[in-house]
Amino acid sequence: MRAVLCTLVLLVSLCSRPASAISDYTDLWWTPAEPGWGVNFAQQGNALFATFYVYAIDGRSVWFTAQMSRDGSGDRFTGPLYRITGTFYGAPAWGGYNIVQAGTATFNASSSTTATLDYNVDGVVVSKSIERLTLAPLSVAGVYIGGVSGRRLGCGTDGNPIIEPMQFDVQHSTVTNDIRIDQISTATFKLVCRMEGRATQLGRLLTVSNASYACIDGWEAPARIYNLRPTPAGFEGQWVSDAGEGCIESGQFSGVTQFP
């Protein structure tokens, strides 16, 4: 029955390969209970560059950088931390800079939006729980052309993964952060699956922790939508849905904006 549904209605969310859950941590991060300091992270592949804006023992502002790399295959990055001094910003000519290692830093993600930052400077050890800092509301509303890839495991009807095209009609209120994602078959132009719920935003990412999720084959279970964000060309996100008794569906979706 599942193979028939996949053929007839391109129900990709049931039949396709799951996505990698590794996130891009590029963002501004902070500790909400301690406003006034933070860390900027810029990630390129397995490299994570950090700029700290913090304060010295006399209360004066000071900054450090860290050049970290992924430690293994998980979401932990570690590397040297540097103190940098250089030419006065108002100097008429650039006179160079001086960089000296002052310690080490480790970024260990607990989710795509939260992490632990451990670092030491001249023997002073610091450990902070940090999260992404939200500067402005995001919107993923729009109509997109793209695809969904995912699979079910432990459901008794596991089949071969496939990838199929999909149209997405996404409604998003930035006032209430209510989101509805309709997956529409590009072959039949009929609704295949619907996800909807209220999102929370941290930095560049939206998360719907308890979305309702239903498909035309009868699948109906709560879902968690995460890593949901607008992209320069459209939008993307990932999800996991637990139907109970070990039956789990997971995957990703993305699309580019459909022009009229």
Q: What is the mean pLDDT of each run of 10 residues along the chain (260 residues)?
A: 33 37 88 97 97 95 95 91 95 95 97 96 96 97 95 75 85 96 94 97 97 92 97 96 91 91
**Could you give the angle at the alpha carbon of 119 between the alpha carbons of 116 and 120, nearest 5°?**
155
For 252, the token pair is 């990703």
- Decide: 158 and 151 in contact? Cβ < 8 Å: yes
- Decide: 207 and 222 in contact? Cβ < 8 Å: no
E strand segments, 96-141: 97-109, 114-121, 124-132
Please tell me the distance from the alpha carbon of residue 120 to that of residue 105, in angstroms, as a whole number: 7
In the chain the domains, ranked by start, together with CATH numbers, are 2-22+136-257 (2.40.160), 27-132 (no CATH)
- The pLDDT, as a whole number, for residue 10 is 35
Residue 67: beta bridge partners? Answer: 49
Q: What backbone phi and psi angles, to 5 degrees, belong to 39?
A: -140, 135
